Chain A
Amino acid sequence: MSDSDQTAPPPPAVRLSRAARLRLVAALLALAAGTAAVVIAVVLVRATLS
């Protein structure tokens, strides 16, 4: 069995701390808020133009 046939060991799993996970969830919430605002504005603009 050559070296190339050997399966490379998996990289160590990156574990986010609880604080980092919380910040990521909050950031996604901010992104969702921005998207919701854009949807409201687009619906309003389309209703205005129609």
Chain B
Amino acid sequence: MSRRIGYVLALAWVAAWLTPAAPASAHAYLVKTVPAASQELNASPPTIQLTYDEAVEPRFALISVTSAAGRQETTGPVQRSQADPDTLTVPLRPHLPEGWYLIYWRAISVDGHPVQGAFTYAVGPNPGPAPQFRVPDISATAATPQLLVARWVMFVAVMAAIGLFVLRFLIIRPVIRGVPGTSVRAVSAALVIASIVGLIAIPVYVDLSTANDSLRSVFDLGALVPLFGVTAYGRALLDLEACFALFVLAACISLWVDRPGRDRRSAAELAANLGTLLAAAAVLIVPGTAGHAAQTSPRGLTLAFDGLHLAAGSVWLGGLLGLLVLWFSLRSGGRVAALAVCVPRFSAVAFGAVLVLAGSGLGEALDHLPALDALWRTGYGEAILVKTGLFAGALVIASGNLLRSRPGLVAARVRPERGEPAARLLRRLISGETALVAGVVFAAAVLSSLAPPPPAFALQDLALARVGPGTVTRTVNRAGYQLELLVSPNRAAAPDSFALRITKGGQPVRGADVTLTFAMTTMEMPGQEYQLKEIRPGLYSRAAPALVMVGLWGLTFQITPQGGPPFSALILDQANG
């Protein structure tokens, strides 16, 4: 009883240690700009200042300031502000002429995802009408084919190495000595090969990722290597390489000191195995700190889910690979006898790993998705669906192994004629299962390269209407009022006019307090709020370049009629360039 209480207290301590007090945001976003969006200044500012919610790296940041004619007005590189590490500045040409200017920015979040945005400001006193700006088209994604393949190779190699170690030392080693003439040397060799591939794949991925983020060539190592550790994302990957190198060292020692022919492990073998398992645990927890898990609240819980997910996936993938290697390395005479002792043990472990995979994956999906329909309406959700489909396919094959191959191998102890067919079926099913699990890992590589939908995505299910692109004239009914929305020209980075005509029983509603809030539903961005003025009886209006990006915007009108209860109306607006 007291031991159980001890476990509970230990778990509570770990949970308390891992759970942060403050919520986390998914990606870097702007919290303040100088000049402010759509502000009209009397004179040109000497610099542009963008303040983010985190310290983004200036060497990965881009700030462009263009005039209506498309001329670049910056005169130097982006630098970190001396006064505030979260603020980036870029110098401007002195005494810019009157007119409108477009600021386009791009930065790298701590989780490695590029984020971007744009807004306009004017230099007066007579800037004139705002022109239609063309927002620069600069690739800003962490999901290029090159990066995805590198990420996949890195994941597969690291997971396979850990899974092969578990299979070699914890699953098949204790029983394999019972089968005369059986060697696990091929599995050991596979472990070494996976380790070498992993040791190479991690720095290669860091190089490719850094080159993508800093818009440099992957071969420009002189410029890239100093940038490897300047972001939290890069530092976490370097830590992953360090932990994995320590794992490989410990695993090689474990292989060297191992004497599989003995009944009991020696103290040296136990110490080496323990050291390798500790290093493996460290390797499995580190990737979460470089990805979405570390940026989604509660971070302690999502990190724990991520570590469990990777651990279970590693045991499954590495175990399957190891069984395949074992199958091909064994002579046909002793193959069935060896598989008959290895496969049932692996099946039991794999069954538990699959349950952990499903549970932790579900937990992560619930944590990252703001609404159920984000599953089929966002790229992130689609990647989850593909991953789940591949996982389900692998489960179907695994069930074939569990129900057909495994019983056949076990029965071969008394009915030898059942052994060979069961072993052949096992090879075919394991080959298919391994391919599907590798596909699951590729889907995970895609998933972890995409930005999860922002919390504002959930607004899409609450909207009264969906309008745009192009000029909008749409009437909706809410709380007994008729609301006619007018938006023109309804274009991104343009000074759009937003008007709301409020009537009740055909009569204009005068003197209401109307506030309009903008929220980008497909990307994490700060919201904007404007007060609408009554320009005619019952007609409330405001002109603002609030739709700073192409995309689906949530326009929330907070309306407080004179003498009436307040209410709100949400309309989704698609703004195009």
- A residues at B contact (CB < 8 Å): 20, 23-24, 26-38, 40-41, 44-45, 48-50
Q: Is the CB of A37 within 8 A of B278?
A: yes
Q: Does B285 contact A (CB under 8 A)?
A: yes
Contact among A20, A26, A30, A41 with B282 in the assembled complex (CB-CB below 8 Å) = A41
Docked Cα-Cα span, A30 to B18, in Å, equals 27
Q: Is the CB of B289 within 8 A of A48?
A: yes
Name the residue of chain B whose CB is nearest to the CB of A25.
B268
Q: Is the CB of B256 within 8 A of A26?
A: yes
Q: Is the CB of B246 within 8 A of A44?
A: no
Q: Is the CB of B272 within 8 A of A37?
A: no
Q: List 5 A-B contacts (CB under 8 A).
A: A30-B257, A30-B276, A31-B278, A40-B239, A49-B18
Q: Does B321 contact A (CB under 8 A)?
A: no
Q: Do A37 and B257 form a contact, CB below 8 Å, given A27-B267, A30-B272, A31-B271? A: no
Docked Cα-Cα span, A35 to B253, in Å, equals 15
Docked Cα-Cα span, A41 to B307, in Å, equals 11
Contact among B250, B256, B274, B285 with A45 in the assembled complex (CB-CB below 8 Å) = B285
Q: Does B254 contact A (CB under 8 A)?
A: yes
- B residues at A contact (CB < 8 Å): 18, 20, 232, 235-236, 239, 242-243, 246-247, 249-250, 253-254, 256-257, 266-272, 274-279, 281-283, 285-286, 289, 294, 299-300, 303
Docked Cα-Cα span, A19 to B239, in Å, equals 34
Q: Is the CB of B257 within 8 A of A27?
A: yes
Docked Cα-Cα span, A35 to B247, in Å, equals 10
Docked Cα-Cα span, A18 to B239, in Å, equals 35
Chain A min CB distance to B521 (Å): 28
Name the residue of chain B whose CB is nearest to the CB of A49.
B20
- Since A31-B274, A37-B282, A38-B281 are in contact, a sample of 8 more A-B pairs with Cβ atoms closer than 8 Å, ordered by chain A residue number, is A23-B268, A26-B257, A27-B257, A27-B271, A28-B271, A31-B250, A37-B279, A48-B232
Chain A min CB distance to B428 (Å): 37
Leading 6 A-B pairs by shortest Cβ distance = A34-B278, A34-B275, A30-B275, A37-B282, A41-B282, A27-B268
Chain A min CB distance to B264 (Å): 15
Q: Is the CB of B275 within 8 A of A27?
A: yes
Docked Cα-Cα span, A28 to B294, in Å, equals 33
Q: Do A27 and B269 form a contact, CB below 8 Å, given A40-B282, A49-B20? A: yes
On chain A, the residues within 8 Å of B266 by CB distance are 23
Q: Is the CB of B285 within 8 A of A34?
A: no
Residue in A26, A29, A30 with the greatest tally of chain B CB atoms within 10 Å: A30
Contact among B20, B243, B268, B274 with A37 in the assembled complex (CB-CB below 8 Å) = B243
Q: Is the CB of B274 within 8 A of A44?
A: no
On chain B, the residues within 8 Å of A23 by CB distance are 256-257, 266, 268
Docked Cα-Cα span, A30 to B286, in Å, equals 19
Q: Do A24 and B268 form a contact, CB below 8 Å, given A30-B253, A34-B275? A: yes
Q: Is the CB of B249 within 8 A of A33?
A: yes
On chain A, the residues within 8 Å of B235 by CB distance are 44
Chain B min CB distance to A21 (Å): 10
Contact among A31, A35, A40, A49 with B272 in the assembled complex (CB-CB below 8 Å) = A31
Q: Do A41 and B268 form a contact, CB below 8 Å, given A32-B275, A33-B279, A49-B20? A: no
Q: Is the CB of B239 within 8 A of A41?
A: yes
Q: Is the CB of B303 within 8 A of A45?
A: yes
Name the residue of chain A whose CB is nearest to the CB of B110.
A48
On chain B, the residues within 8 Å of A33 by CB distance are 246-247, 249-250, 253, 275, 279
Q: Is the CB of B249 within 8 A of A48?
A: no
Docked Cα-Cα span, A38 to B576, in Å, equals 49
On chain A, the residues within 8 Å of B249 by CB distance are 29-30, 33
Docked Cα-Cα span, A7 to B282, in Å, equals 51
On chain B, the residues within 8 Å of A41 by CB distance are 239, 243, 281-283, 285-286
On chain B, the residues within 8 Å of A30 by CB distance are 249-250, 253-254, 257, 271-272, 275-276
Docked Cα-Cα span, A17 to B30, in Å, equals 66
Q: Is the CB of A34 within 8 A of B250?
A: yes
Chain A min CB distance to B133 (Å): 38
Docked Cα-Cα span, A48 to B18, in Å, equals 10
